Amino acid sequence: MSRLGFSFLVLTIACAALTLVGPEQAAWSGFVKFGLGLFGILSFVSMVLGRRIKFDPVLR
Give 2-58 pLDDT, tens digit per residue: 788 889 999 999 999 988 888 878 788 889 999 999 999 999 998 888 766 566 566
CA 32 – CA 18 distance, rounded (Å): 7
- pTM higher than 0.85, yes or no? no
Return all residues near 23 (Cβ < 8 A) that are at least 6 apart: 29
In a domain, 27, yes or no: yes
3-state SS class at 26: coil
Give residue 39's domain range: 9-51
Domain count across the chain: 1
Q: What pLDDT does 2 receive?
A: 76
Q: What one-letter code names the amino acid at 22?
A: G
In a domain, 4, yes or no: no
Return all residues near 30 (Cβ < 8 A) that are at least 6 apart: none
CA 28 – CA 15 distance, rounded (Å): 11
